[in-house]
Amino acid sequence: MEKKLRELKNRFFSELKTVRDDDFLAELKIKYLGRKGELASILRGVKDLAVEEKPRVGQLANEIKKELLEVFGRTEAIIKKSAIRPRNFDSSLPGQRREIGHLHPSTIVQEEIEEAFAKLGFSIFDGPQLESDYYNFTALNIPEDHPARDTQDTFWVEGKNLLRTHTSNLQVRMLEKYGAPFRGIFPGRVFRYESTDASHEHTFYQTEGLMVDRNINIGNLIAVMQSLLSAVFHKKVNVRLRPGFFPFVEPGFEMDIECFICEGDGCSVCKQSGWVELMPCGLVHPGVLKAGGLDPEEYSGFAFGLGLTRLVMMKYRINDIRLLQSGDLRFLKQF
């Protein structure tokens, strides 16, 4: 009986060397350790042994069974881990090409802007897209009867809340939370209830910038803007500064950039003017500083609202803003 048990063990290890997949391993396990397997068949003869032989043979049978089970477990783990190739695998066939994702052009430019401002010591902040009337308008020196509200084309929701019409909604929020000195930008999505055309969309992106400290002036604003545009376009950019009115800055300006689509000759994007409105800007209005808990006699600052989507169009010479939100993969794969 002991000889039969050792022979069974040797046969098992010999057949184990030929295992190629888990199906064959399962068959081997049934053959040797199943209820009707070879080990069970040998053990049926234990009852016919002499009394003094039964303990020795029984102990040997248990040891062999335990060893076989351990080997089965290790072999199963090795087979699963190695992921053995199917028998019909042809290594000469070309593999399946894995699709590579594409960053949206707005994401590319936003990251360039964030990097440029980070080098100038600005922090990057995010805020709510569903905003209250107070932070979107009132705190920015735009009371309920102010005509500037009519130009915003606002999406209103319940409870006097709205989809923010500009990222300026974070100006007072940031001053309330961090005080002065403050230096930060707020990139994000904004919404306007207006008709769409080649240069207007109901959903687009802006980057608001705010710097507040002692003795801030227009020179600081212009220097920061020149550094930004040079970083994004990697060359000198023609700009012009003209007077503009915005309730939250005083004095206010419009900064325009020469149209990159037509190079100043006139097209549908620049409305045949050769210039594209890029950024309203100016010195922070004293009323906004007060709303943020600061003394306008002690602090001053500048703010700007950069049209990030229009900057994208200029950088990549995109002649229709609607392409950016179209979800057309043919368009996105170019970037």
Does residue 94 carry a pLDDT above 90? Answer: no
Q: What average pLDDT does the chain have?
A: 85
* Domains held by the chain: number: 2
pTM, two decimals, is 0.63
- The three-class DSSP label of residue 266 is coil
Tell me the DSSP string of 93-129: SPPPPPPPP---HHHHHHHHHHHHHHHTT-EE----S
Contact 186, 126 (CB under 8 A): yes
Q: Are residues 55 and 123 in the same domain?
A: no
Residue 78, domain member (yes or no): yes
Asked which of 82, 97, 117 is the last residue of a domain, the reply is: 82
Does residue 97 carry a pLDDT above 90? Answer: no
pLDDT at 89: 63
For residue 102, report the phi and psi dihedrals to the nearest 5 degrees: -130, 130
How does residue 87 score in pLDDT terms, banded at 50, 70 and 90?
low
Residue 89, domain member (yes or no): no
Least confidently predicted of 87-91, 117-121, 187-191: 87-91
Q: Helices in the chain by DSSP H: which ranges?
A: 2-16, 22-33, 38-43, 54-82, 105-119, 133-136, 170-178, 218-233, 286-291, 308-316, 329-332
Residue 296 belongs to domain with CATH number: 3.30.930.10
pLDDT at 82: 64
Which parts are annotated binding residues?
250
Which parts are annotated binding residues for Mg(2+)?
250
